[in-house]
Amino acid sequence: MAKKTVGQVLRDQRAKLDMTLNAAEALTQIKKMYIVALEHDDYDALPGDFYVKAYLKQYAERLDLDYDQLVTAYEKNEPIEVDETPDLSESYQFVKPSERLEADEELGDKKWRYYLPIVLLGTVAALIIISISATVVLNKPKNSGIAEHLYSVSTSSKSKASASHPAPSTSSISSESKAPEPPKPEIAVTGNGQALAATVKNVASPVKVNLSTAAGLAVWIGMTNSDLPGGQITLTNATPTTTTLTGNQTVLTLGKTTGLTIKIGDTPIDLSSIVAPESPATLTITIE
């Protein structure tokens, strides 16, 4: 038996049904921001206690859950006991002792037959190397005058080549290797209330979105079309994150915007148009 909160039970059941937030919104006719609040036990984000119970009833019926159990746990602020039975099934095969002995003997014979050619080849190779080394030592010329003459000619040629072709200066090398700076992203923010839209231009692919928050604050964020694990994260100042977009548009569902910073690369997005920073909001980012 495991103990879970009401929000965890709702979220696990939705995941078990392989249902997205958009599908849950369409099925229950409950706004996505309120579904997110229910699944994270953030009841202060809902208009009042009446709406909490009404949405719990509506959501529980669509997910085939026990509404009375959920409401009781919500009113008493207690966890719910849930059955979680691990799958301990394994397959075993019995092998007779005689069969194991025969297999070991056969494996030993195979190993010997495998290593025998390698040993023979190694011995032959060692004999060949010894013979060649002895031949070279015995036939080594006593007079090395020819080799010394060739070395002096080679050294003289290299000196002349160096004098005729001086090395390029460091200033020319640094000027040639300096790459032009990429243009800064252009971000245009529109909308007001609790829904903003940001259009981004002149941004390199893949597009990186940096998420961070001020000290002492925690913000839940849901994100589509990105490599964010599970499509969601609870952000704190100790756990800033950078995620890569997998499409040209992403929708961020924000638990709140107070103390939250969202950047495309190093360029921040202006969230000051949000009317109620302490309430859930959405931000749609489009890459052009």
Letter for the amino acid at 149?
Answer: H
Give buried/exposed letters for 109-135 (b at 16+ CB in 10 A, else e): eeeeeeeeeeeeeeeeeeeeeeeeeee
Residue 100 has pLDDT above 90, yes or no: no
Burial string for 221-250 (b: 16+ CB within 10 Å, else e) reads: bbbbebebeebbbebeeeeeeebebeeeeb
The larger pLDDT score, comparing residue 226 to residue 2, is at 226
Q: In terms of pLDDT, which residue wins out, 154 or 187? A: 187
Q: What is the pLDDT of residues 125-143, one digit of tens each?
A: 999 999 898 888 787 655 5
Strands 195-201, 281-287: pairing is parallel
Under DSSP, the state recorded for 43 is G
In this predicted model, what pLDDT tens digit does every residue of 196-220 receive, in sequence order? Answer: 999 999 998 999 999 999 999 999 9
Query: Could you tell me the two tokens for 226?
Result: 């990105």
Q: Of 53, 23, 27, 19, which Cα lies nearest the Cα of 38?
A: 53
**Against a cut of 0.75, is the pTM above it?**
no
For domain 2-82, give the CATH superfamily. Answer: lambda repressor-like DNA-binding domains (1.10.260.40)
Tens of pLDDT, residues 146-168: 555 555 545 555 555 555 555 55
Question: For the chain, what are the domain ranges?
Answer: 2-82, 186-287
